[in-house]
Structure 1
Amino acid sequence: MSNFLRFRVLGDSLAAGVGCVRAEQSLGYLLTETLRAAGHQVQLSVHAVPGARSTDLAPQVRAALRAGVDLALVVIGANDLTSFTPPAVGARLLGEAVTDLRAAGGRVFVIPAPDLGLVSHVPPAFRQFVSQASHAYALAQTDAVRRAGGTVAEIDPGLLQRFAADLDLFSADRFHPSPAGYALIAEAVAPALRAEVTERAG
């Protein structure tokens, strides 16, 4: 059955689509098209801000709540890692954001911190350490999101391996995904997002 979804995208540059040539290549737009293809009417608004950390989520949440929210995608964590935000602090702030969105009746889908050990700027000698730190941060986020009633995207290790092996999945800055990279991420998380919407409709 079709239903109307006020879809809000919050978070950092990955949520905003930095690295894309056109807005239509970003995660929010790609996932909106996936939902529309499944028969839903979708109103998309992107509140994400490049460079945002978990400390910056609260004003984005307020903006989403003012617009009304049925489904929210939150992508956050990369800038927390580069700024050495303690996992407990970032996870608490993310959990608070999810709690507020859920209290307004929205379902919340979160893509946690990426593995920054895959970024080519990281010296090979430090990549294992950076990957471990990224994983620990994502685990703290996952626990906080689930406690707050949100859903966390399960990222297949095979997807990470594809990014590690193919520089074309990164944009020119070698940090953000390219349009091809965003398309791959959207394809990977789309089934779980559709399931989230189906559960809501049910």
Structure 2
Amino acid sequence: MTILRFCVLGDSLAAGVGSTRVEDTLGQRLARRLRAEGHEVRLRGYGVPGARSADLDRQTGAAVGDGVDLALIVIGANDLAGFVSPAVGARQLHDAVARLVRAGARVLVVPAPDLGIVSRVPAPYRNLVSAASGQYASAQADAAIRAGGAVATASAQLAARFAADATLFSADRFHPSSAGYAVIADALAPHLVAVAADPAA
């Protein structure tokens, strides 16, 4: 059986910050789901806490150099926190996706989360932050599709789950807990499995 080289790129969510065990991280959980679907998987993680879309160039270079068949990109929260414009971040994401596609990889992008649900955001600003998050995520989705990638579409449902359940956040009240990563992985798995199985990719 051919080994599926699965790479996870992006920020602290890609790196698993907040999880209490390596087995609970997003990459590990999704790799197990891919194996359950019959794939033999080699997982490699390139995510870096604090990464912005500008950092994807280095990460994609490393992934392409090592070999990649399936890539998951989780990026955007730090761009939002750093006031990176949607146009700039989307262009950087587009270039990363296009580079991976040219290398023969199938790519799934997880757009920026809704930061308006984070408790450290003052209540009067939450609607504004949510709107900015949505605008950024929309620009990312458009860019990813234009570059030949696919986009996970569960962001609204995930935001609602996290807003309603504080246990899905880790102790820092910003990153997911192990339980939170389980919820995210469950939402992303159908999208990733579909992308992995796409014979046209």
Structure 1 length-normalised TM: 0.97
CA distance in 1: counterparts of 2:2 and 2:162, whole angstroms: 35
Quick one: percent identity of the two aligned structures?
A: 60
Task: Please name the residue that 1:90 is paired with.
Answer: 89
Tell whether 2:94 aligns with 1:123: no
What is residue 34 of structure 1 aligned with on the other side? 33
What SS is found at the alignment partner of 1:7?
A: strand
After superposition, the C-alpha distances for 1:118-158 in whole angstroms (9 at most, x for unaligned) are 10000110000000000000000000000000000001533
For residue 138 of structure 2, what is the aligned residue in structure 1?
Answer: 139
Three-state SS of the structure 1 residue aligned to 2:65 is helix
2:38, 2:13 → 1: CA distance?
26
- Residue identity opposite 1:95 in structure 2: H
Matched with 1:23 is 22
Is the CA contact (8 Å cut-off) linking 2:119 and 2:173 kept in structure 1? yes
Taking the aligned partners of 2:159 and 2:2, their CA distance within structure 1 comes to 33
Deviation string, structure 1 residues 29-81 (Cα, Å, up to 9, x no partner): 00000000111000000011000001111110111011100000000000000
Tell me how large the CA RMSD over aligned residues is: 1.2
The one-letter code of the counterpart of 1:160 is: A
Aligned residues: 201
Residue aligning to 2:107: 108
List, as ranges, runs of 4+ consecutive aligned residues in structure 1 with deviation greater than 2 Å.
Answer: 156-159
Q: What residue number does 1:187 align with?
A: 186
| Aligned: 1:63 with 2:62 | yes
Which sections of structure 1, spanning at least 5 residues, go unmatched?
none
Secondary structure at the aligned position of 1:200 is classed as coil
Contact map agreement 1:3 1:201 (CA 8 A) in 2: no
Residue deviations 1:67-117 (CA, integer Å, cap 9, x gap):
100000000000000000000000000000000000000000010100000
The answer for unaligned runs of 5 or more in structure 2 is: none
Counterpart in the other structure of 1:99: 98
TM-score normalized with structure 2 length = 0.97
State whether residues 15 and 27 of structure 1, in contact with CA within 8 Å, keep that contact through their aligned partners in structure 2. Answer: yes
Q: Which letter does structure 2 place at the counterpart of 1:157? A: A
